[in-house]
Chains A and B, each alone.
Chain A
């Protein structure tokens, strides 16, 4: 369980995150969506213990984020694949677990590579893999760590849309099979809705939560969900919140014309 209590992160005079309260339950798939600079990455880094909050506190499984890091309770997936270019796919999967000081499990690393659809690529270097394959390795690496919690910072941000949608279905499948708690940050509204049990919408300057949606879509979620009416409606609802103008009352009522 992740408990975020009144967390504020300020850099000089920019309030990247302001007074955020949020609890993520065990086994929940939570997405955080918002425009660039809304503090969603900073919030995630605070949960992962990579960023100290200016005010407030974060508890992971009832303990500090430093304790969570020391016990390797958090598996991080970044926007960049962060694979080591001199290591093979299976060595990259094993690497994080080794660095966390956990016992090696080569068979487990191979099994995870198969699960993310990379059977036969075990000894391939990152340079020989496509962008989507590299992120699959990075996801396998985070799961192989054995952490209950996965923090994903726009992991599909640099992939094409077709690959993104396919990986979206796969990550939901993996999440179900591996029973993880996931916090997934994205600036793509459809991605945030498709993946979520619960979707948190943030706005920028200062970065804060403006709305939380419980996403009601069929489980398990297949790619059919993308074309369902329920999906389109919820995407529209999230979009409406994101485009609502809260900062400047004088422009309220102005309609945006599409070009």
Chain B
């Protein structure tokens, strides 16, 4: 049907691909032109080809650090997402638990999680664990809030319908509640993964041992703008890859809610 661009299940046209690529080409050309025309010194803003040369000149450096960042995101994000999912399911089943914790979940949402990083340094130390805990915390909140909201979408009459035939509670969960929550679950997942990438960079600034965030920090201290930009390009690629993975899963798994 006439779905909007980016809606799960909508076909991708040539223009959907060509226009963004064209935009990227124009922006790169403008960067090039600016550097050449204004005679910007390369240590302030290197031209795109210089950044590409840094990237291609030492691919091992970027692969190694991207892997370190990806590992933190996978472990920390995985733990945060799993915990968020588990709590969302729990509070959807247990009304008293929902009433006890939900107000605080909503309250804590306004706290910039980055502000608690120094606290973690004191409690957890300065290693991988700190990074994992920090990324986990950041990924946890959007996951639990979004998924819990999804479970709230089940219409009361749908629950009554299943009660009218005395359906089992596991059946009700798997066949009714979970499918209703799944679009919100994926919305939460996308937010959590995006935030986990931010969390990983911040963690690498604080813990400062490895990863793309660490590379950016290091390059900044040495005023190597070309290295910084190259690291940022890899970071963007990493974030896009993670986001894309979820978008593909969503296309395959999720029905599209429509106004009814």
Residues of A within 8 A of B (CB): 45, 48-50, 66, 69-70, 72, 74-76, 78-80, 82, 84-86, 95-96, 98-100, 126-127, 145
New A-B pairs, 9, CB < 8 Å, besides A50-B163, A69-B164, A96-B161: A66-B166, A69-B165, A72-B165, A74-B164, A76-B164, A80-B155, A99-B162, A100-B167, A145-B165
The reply on B23 being an interface residue by CB < 8 A is no
**Could you tell me if B158 and A82 are in contact, using CB atoms closer than 8 angstroms?**
yes
- Would you call B50 an interface residue if the criterion is a C-beta within 8 Å of the partner chain's C-beta atoms? no
Q: Per a CB cutoff under 8 Å, which of A49, A78, A145 touches B157?
A: A78
Q: Interface residue count for B (Cβ, 8 Å)?
A: 20
Give residues 132-162 of B contacting A (CB, 8 Å). Answer: 155, 157-158, 160-162
Q: Are B255 and A85 in contact (CB under 8 A)?
A: yes
Q: Judge if B218 is at the interface, Cβ distance under 8 Å.
A: no
CB contact under 8 A between A82 and B157, given known A99-B162, A127-B258: yes
Most buried by A among B158, B160, B161, B257: B161
A-B contact count (CB 8 A): 57
Q: Please state if A49 and B164 are interface contacts (CB–CB under 8 Å).
A: yes
Residues of the A chain whose Cβ atoms lie less than 8 Å from the Cβ of B172: 99
The answer to whether A84 and B176 touch across the interface, beta carbons within 8 angstroms, is yes
Which 4 interchain pairs have the tightest Cβ spacing?
A: A86-B255, A100-B165, A99-B167, A69-B166
Residues from 226 to 260 in B contacting A, C-beta threshold 8 Å: 255, 257-258, 260
Q: Does B175 contact A (CB under 8 A)?
A: yes
Whether B161 pairs with A76 at a CB distance below 8 angstroms is: yes
Taking CB as reference atom, which chain A residue is nearest B164?
Answer: A76
Write out the residue numbers on chain B whose beta carbons fall within 8 Å of the beta carbon of A79.
157
Given contacts A84-B176, A85-B260, A86-B179, contact A78 B167 (CB under 8 A): no
Q: How far is the CB of B1 from chain A (nearest CB, A)?
A: 8
